[in-house]
Amino acid sequence: MSLQDRLMAEMQNAMRAGDVVRRDTIRLLRAAIRNREIELQRDATDEDVLEVIARQVKQRNESIALFHQGGREDLVAAEEAQKAILEEYLPRQLAQSEIEQVVREIVAELRATDMRQMGAVMREAMSRLKGQADGSLVNEVVREILSR
């Protein structure tokens, strides 16, 4: 079953169960996927769908931070609920220690010794960790390892 089929089935289940938050979150996600398909001028693959979901989660994180600053805890709770639903469709995220291990392997393979090779290390790390780790966390780990 493709990810889009799963989303459609879960949206229908949410409608039957009266779960408004899940229904609306999946509807918004499906609209974002449709927009991506229009942009790509082809049907979205599961990998494309995962990219859209990751982008949606990132948007929710940014909204949560802004709503915290504005003191809008009601909106923070709504965004966190949507974010939790979206994260159910993403693959398991790696822990920082697992990311560090992968980055150390890449640094050894590329024989990177200082910050000048950060671009090459980041390119390889993001290709290996695609969908499994947040880019900002990977960036932080690469900076830490290369600055030693």
Q: Which residues of the chain have pLDDT under 50?
A: none
How confident is the model at residue 86, as a pLDDT? 95
Residue type, 55: R
State pLDDT tens for residues 48-87.
999 999 899 999 999 999 999 999 999 999 999 999 999 9
Q: What pLDDT, on the 0 to 100 scale, is given for residue 21?
A: 95
Q: Which residues contact 74 (CB under 8 A, 6 or more apart)?
A: none
User: What pLDDT, on a 0 to 100 scale, did the predictor assign at position 93?
Assistant: 84
pLDDT score for 78: 94
What is d(CA 92, CA 71) in angstroms, rounded to the nearest whole number?
A: 31
pLDDT at 40 (0 to 100): 92
